[in-house]
Structure 1
Amino acid sequence: MPPETPPSTTPPSSFPAPTFSSVKNVRDLSSVPGSPILPNRLYRAGMPSDSCASDVSLLTAQPPLGLGVTTLIDLRSATELAADPRLSTSPAYSPYTSIKWSSKRTLRESLPPRLKIPDPSLPRLDRATGLPRRERHFVSLMDEKRYVAGTLQRLTKTSLAKLAAAAPGAIVSRRARARGKKVFLDRINNGGLPLLNDLILQMAAKGIRYVLELCADPSRHPVAFYCTAGKDRTGIVAAVILAYLGTPAEAVVGDYSLSDGVYKEMGDDSAMVGALKQRDLDPDVFLKAPPEVMRQTLREIGEHYGSVEAYLDFIGFGEEDRQRLRKALVEER
């Protein structure tokens, strides 16, 4: 762990505070106490699909009228995207070129040929507007198959035996299917959000690396990354970045906990959590963001990987990459 970076002494940003009307859970990561990130570099948010006209203006207008977000990163699963009726029609997305990430490609290989540039230091300008080109990257961090596979890996021998006992008759017996499903869901509900976070860190490694590569590119700033409520997958990405940059652990915990009431604000009892339908999960477990969840997650990063830096090595985001990220986020330009 590098020495803690002291809180930024940069004066308050001239950019407007992210006070959105319809988009939930939006905040600048420079606002986290002790965060060295400079204003208007990185935002975390809930999905902007339901943006009203004032939200669209705040998101896209150039400072000082808006945030002028250049890059959107959508962390939702294909199931969630398919369930979003405004995925293609929301005016919030219309200024952005959509790019679908593939886990089999690097950042540069994932870009369509017409968007590639020979030198990453060159400005990426839109020919029509002369402004930085706007992109929306789809980077699914957790889908149903990964969640199921990861949870099965963590089932105890006793639970596996129960699941196997139910399996032979599952095709013909509704009762057997219900027993098998109960064993599986009991494991998910008992593991709760710490299990979900652990699965994201392990199984979404390539996606997280891709997101960090985008965040480390100054020409793509400001960046806003989001999932459905901006709580779990968004919270993990924010926590990894903040922790690496030396933000105090309790400040990282506090930032996570600000998402505690976001599902209530959304009024969505059928929201997707970890890419599984809410009706299958315990809402008292999965709709909240208690501080102990992030404390446990940070502890487990240390226990499982050794440090945040070691975790970043694990996902292939090495020292040189980390220095680019630090420079992009904390240095004036």
Structure 2
Amino acid sequence: MTFPIRIGTRRSRLALTQSGMMQRAVATAMGVPESEIDAAVPLVEIVTTGDRIQDRRLLEVGGKALFTKEIEEALLDGRVDIAVHSMKDVPAEQPPGLAIAAVPEREDARDAFISERFACFADLPQGARLGTASLRRQAQALALRPDLRIEMLRGNVDTRLKRLTDGDFDAILLATAGLNRLGRAEVIRERLSPDQFLPAPGQGALALQTRAGEMGAAWVAALNHPLTALAVAAERGAMTALEGSCRSAIGAHATVDGDRLKLAAEMLSPDGTGRWRRTGEIDDIHAADAANWARALGLSVGAQIHDAAGDQQIAL
């Protein structure tokens, strides 16, 4: 791959922050001097359909692919050479001709509870207004507190925080990783336990996507974090097994403990009344084919959840 190496990114402040991190990392891996980074590894801003539609949940208008579609088209057309995505926005299957080349080290995967008045989720009063656009967060919150009023909250991080400050909600839920990367961790009142709020598959991780023929680029090995990539492979395996219904909420999170990879995954009904969780693990994560085993673990755990839910899935 020769210079310039163009990085495609969404225009939101968080996306530009994340892409800027990867721009500097790619430049460092390629030996580019600081003064030449913007010319050698330029950022190309792309507005996605998901950015333009702010008044509806994504599942109502096409799902998470709305955040990646236009950037992937730019990759396939040769207008950019790398795409930086939040991994949780990347659909389970890659478009023909594209591939995830690297998965950098993960940030905190947990959800964040943010409120002007309440110190933690458990302190919310009866009937409190909780803002989120995530079907998963909605379902998990209602599974614990069916009395809550879940209200839709779209927009960038600053917009969501302003609506909270303006009094539109008693609390909101966001990803801890995004707040950390934006330097806004001070707004977090509680980092929610995965035992109750299992994160979205890939949450806290980034995906560096390229054309399939450029998987061997010089920067790939430098930016890929093998343990994060392994965990994400397991989570996305579970997501693949469970994405039969666009009306189901899915959580999955894998962790490494010594030589073992442990995965927890779940599916919930939107109102939280149905919740199915299973766990699994594999040994020898340093084997040459560990990524395949991790994905197989996710597929297996996801299939167990699918079977446990049975006919109840029809009502999701």
TM-score between the two structures when normalised by the length of structure 2: 0.31
Of Structure 1 and Structure 2, which has the larger fraction of its residues in helix? 1
Relative CO higher for 1 or 2, CA cutoff 8 Å, sep ≥ 6? 1
Q: Please identify the structure whose Cα radius of gyration is greater.
A: 1
